[in-house]
Chains A and B, each alone.
Chain A
Amino acid sequence: QKEVEQDPGPLSVPEGAIVSLNCTYSNSAFQYFMWYRQYSRKGPELLMYTYSSGNKEDGRFTAQVDKSSKYISLFIRDSQPSDSATYLCASRQGGSYIPTFGRGTSLIVHP
């Protein structure tokens, strides 16, 4: 079993939709959770970074972590065509610098 599981998609939504991207993880020691966005032919860029359970909001983006169910979510409100990218979730343990990445979910927002 992979430590971080993520559906590769693609997920196709109309502009303005609320998008929900999800990951599950198996390692109970994971404490830090990240979402990266990767545009085609670019490197991943950090989008959201959270510690432990709870929600974190940044503009149209909300990251949610439920440690009891080992579930990580990223919500995008009022999605735009410019949000079309691959979204990678990642998790790591406290005491470790190295995250474990999911496969990424390809998101397509069509006008």
Chain B
Amino acid sequence: EADIYQTPRYLVIGTGKKITLECSQTMGHDKMYWYQQDPGMELHLIHYSYGVNSTEKGDLSSESTVSRIRTEHFPLTLESARPSHTSQYLCASSGTTDYNSPLHFGNGTRLTVT
């Protein structure tokens, strides 16, 4: 089982609040990713990082931001939560060697914005 941890597992929060979803991995992977997953839909890439101080937007940035100050840590921040942000957020990482490295996922944060 991959060592990638997401907290909190579940979060219910009111509209307009600022929230940070945490993601940490202990595998030393340099690449990390945030995906949004809705029931029955494809995983949508929100942000990704190829290393410390490197962040890129995916095809669904969803008014969120990320930071990568440490290799093992890749938090996702929503400055002002809206009901449309209600979804499951999955963090993933992949290894350093070459393009053959597949993604390893955490168990997700299920966010509900009321």
Whether, in the assembled complex, A45 has its beta carbon less than 8 Å from a beta carbon of chain B, the answer is yes
Determine the chain B residues whose CB is within 8 A of the CB of A100 once the complex forms.
42
In the assembled complex, the Cα of A51 lies from the Cα of B103 at a distance in Å of 15
Residue of B nearest to A39 (CB): B107
* Residue interface bits A43-87, CB-to-B below 8 A is 1, else 0: 111100101000000000000000000000000000000000000
Contact B42 A43 (CB under 8 A): no
Q: What is the total number of residues of chain B having a CB less than 8 Å from a CB of chain A?
A: 27
Contact A42 B107 (CB under 8 A): yes
In the assembled complex, the Cα of A43 lies from the Cα of B100 at a distance in Å of 20
Q: Given A8-B40, A103-B40, A103-B41, A41 and B102 touching (CB < 8 A)?
A: no
Q: Whole-angstrom distance from the CB of B54 to the nearest CB of chain A?
A: 12
Q: Whole-angstrom distance from the CB of B56 to the nearest CB of chain A?
A: 10
Contact of B45 among A42, A98, A104 (CB under 8 A): A98
Contact A46 B102 (CB under 8 A): yes
Across chains A and B, the number of contacting residue pairs, with CB separation under 8 Å, is 56
In the assembled complex, the Cα of A94 lies from the Cα of B40 at a distance in Å of 27
Q: Whole-angstrom distance from the CB of B1 to the nearest CB of chain A?
A: 8
Contact A97 B31 (CB under 8 A): yes
Q: Whole-angstrom distance from the CB of A91 to the nearest CB of chain B?
A: 12
Q: Whole-angstrom distance from the CB of B24 to the nearest CB of chain A?
A: 14
Q: Whole-angstrom distance from the CB of B105 to the nearest CB of chain A?
A: 4
Contact B108 A43 (CB under 8 A): yes
Contact A2 B107 (CB under 8 A): no
Contact B100 A97 (CB under 8 A): no
Determine the chain B residues whose CB is within 8 A of the CB of A30 once the complex forms.
none
Residue of B nearest to A42 (CB): B107
Determine the chain B residues whose CB is within 8 A of the CB of A8 once the complex forms.
40
Contact of B105 among A32, A43, A49, A102 (CB under 8 A): A43
Q: List 9 A-B contacts (CB under 8 A).
A: A4-B42, A43-B4, A43-B108, A46-B102, A46-B103, A49-B102, A97-B101, A98-B45, A102-B42
